[in-house]
Amino acid sequence: MDQLLKIFRLCGSPPDDYWRKMKLSPSFKPPKPYKSTTAERFRDLPPSSLGLLATLLALDPAARGTAGQALQSSVRPLSNQATSLLLGPLRPVPVAPC
């Protein structure tokens, strides 16, 4: 339940029809409705990338974007700073000798 609340706090809680459509138990419904905080949380990202981010984070699987769609988007690659915001600090991957 804690993970669901974190998702709802970031993406916003789904509307009532979502629960009926997905046939989910009402026990998964948050105690109060949440508004999306994606734009505030990722305010350092270029504005052009927020739409893509919202599509990739969509709660409804029918509305959620795919990796292929993301690659085809017109959004420019993220800067190192933006990538670090999303993924954390990048670390080199050790390569095993052949």
DSSP string over 48-72? HHHHHHHHHT-SSTTT---HHHHHH
Take residue 10 and report the two structure tokens written for it.
């970031």
Answer for the pair 65, 56: CB distance below 8 angstroms, yes or no: yes
> Rounded to the nearest 5°, which phi and psi values hold at 89?
-60, 140
Answer for the pair 10, 37: CB distance below 8 angstroms, yes or no: yes
Q: Per-residue confidence of the chain (98 residues) as pLDDT tens digits? A: 688 888 888 888 888 888 778 777 777 788 888 999 988 988 888 887 888 888 888 888 888 888 888 878 777 655 555 556 666 665 666 666 76
pLDDT of residue 91: 63
Alpha carbon 36 to chain centroid, angstroms = 10
What global pTM score does this model have?
A: 0.61
